[in-house]
Structure formats: structure tokens, C-alpha cells
Amino acid sequence: MPSIASTALLPTRSEISAGTDLTDGIRSIDGWSLENQPIETPDMGSTFVPKIDGDDSAADSSLGFYEDNTLDDIETDLAKGTAGFICIFSKGDVPAGKGLDVFPVKVASNSKAYSTDNEAAQINVQFVITDRPSFNQTVPAAGTDEVQTVTVTGSPTGGTYTLTFSGQTTSGIVYNATSSQVQTALEALSNIAPGDVTCAGGPHPGTPITVTFGGAYDGVDVPQMTATGSFTGGTSPAVTVSTTTPGG
């Protein structure tokens, strides 16, 4: 996860959604615990040497991954020097459940493990834990998915419009588009993958189309889309976007 606003290291659902789920690629895990260095307090009147608890320190911690033959997420997202947070859901990502451990980290090394044996290629990532971790926190509930509404007014009889989301603009969408056509246009953007949006309602121009964000934007307060129309016919036709349900 790139950031956590809470000083208690309790992430929100939107902060979790903004992170990368590494679960499926992990082949090994080591460390991720606190160690204490007890201090001896000998008593000259006894042959027993008692101890008191000393300083806490983090165990050497690492994650091992299988290398992907097409993507380079591990190499880029966990490049040497990257700072962020590792969240371990020991009881699963179950809202209101316990077992969420959060570690502030910095990547110390990211290296490939070469071998001539018949085994999958591997990447080893070593971390330094930069501050006291937080253990057994409550998993936050799922956030609200954002819903935006696209409305065409003025009863156009021809033309197209485009939608822009976070700097990426769709190809032309016909004035009488169905919800599935709008969804296809949005999923063609580089920052929206299949499953990231679900469109309903329509068709235009008589009925608005809603766009519900999920997938990578599940429970996230996303930027509002902007729309640009190039219509013919009708009476002062236009297209607008409004946020019906804010995410987060």
C-alpha cells in the first residue's frame, strides 16, 4: 500500500483498494514479527540471572515471488528504495474481522534468484521495517462504490460524445448509445479494465446511463468524468456527468 493517513496505522478501505494485492504471486514469506532483546539483571546474592524486557526490533523480513512471464509488477512496484506499507490479513480480508497486521516498510533489495533446476523463476524482495508495526487490527468495512450519471439533453438526432476519466478520453460514443456501448468505450481506456465499471440504464438520449465503479476502484472516491458532445439536431443538445453516489 502506498500510504496510510492514520497515525495508528489503521488503513481505510479506499487505501487498501489503492494498494496491490500480492497474494497470488507469493511463494515464500519470512520474518514479519517483532523481536525483543532481553537485558540481564544479575543479582550477586543469587546464582539465578533474571532478565527484563529490552528494546523491540523487527525481524529480517522478506517476500519471495514467482516471476511473471509478461508483467513486471514486482520489479516496478517493489523496486529498491520504495517506501509504503505491507498489510497481512492473517484471517483473510473479512470486514470487521481481526488479524490485520500493518508494517511500515522500505524495500532494501529486489533481486532475481537464478537456477538451472527445473523450477519456476523467482524474485526475492527484502524489506526493512521502518517503524513499529501495528498488530491485530480490525479489518475495515468495504467502502461505497462511486456512481456517476451520464445525461444527454436536448433530444439530439445524431452525433457523438466522449467521456474523459483521469486524463484518458474515450472514442466517440453515439448519441443514442446503450449502456453496454458506454461500458465498452470506458473499458477501452488504459486506466479502466474490464470489471472496473458497470453501466446501466439508457439508452440515450431519452434515459441517463449510470456508471458504477468497482474492481480496482472498489470503494474509492474517484475523479468525476467530464463529457464533450458533438451533436446534431434537437434543441441545444448537451451531455453532462454528475456524481450520484460519492465513493469512499
Predicted local distance difference test score (pLDDT) of residue 72: 82
> pLDDT tens digit string along 39-88?
999 988 899 999 999 999 988 999 999 887 777 888 889 999 999 999 99
Give yes or no for a contact between 16 and 140, defined as CB atoms under 8 angstroms apart.
yes
Instruction: Tell me what the pLDDT averaged over the chain comes to.
Output: 92
State mean pLDDT over 118-140. Answer: 91
Give yes or no for a contact between 62 and 31, defined as CB atoms under 8 angstroms apart.
yes
State mean pLDDT over 85-114. Answer: 92
Quick check: pTM over 0.75?
A: no
Please confirm whether the linkage preceding 203 is cis (ω < 30° from 0): yes
Give yes or no for a contact between 76 and 112, defined as CB atoms under 8 angstroms apart.
no
Predicted local distance difference test score (pLDDT) of residue 102: 96
Predicted local distance difference test score (pLDDT) of residue 25: 87
Give yes or no for a contact between 66 and 121, defined as CB atoms under 8 angstroms apart.
yes
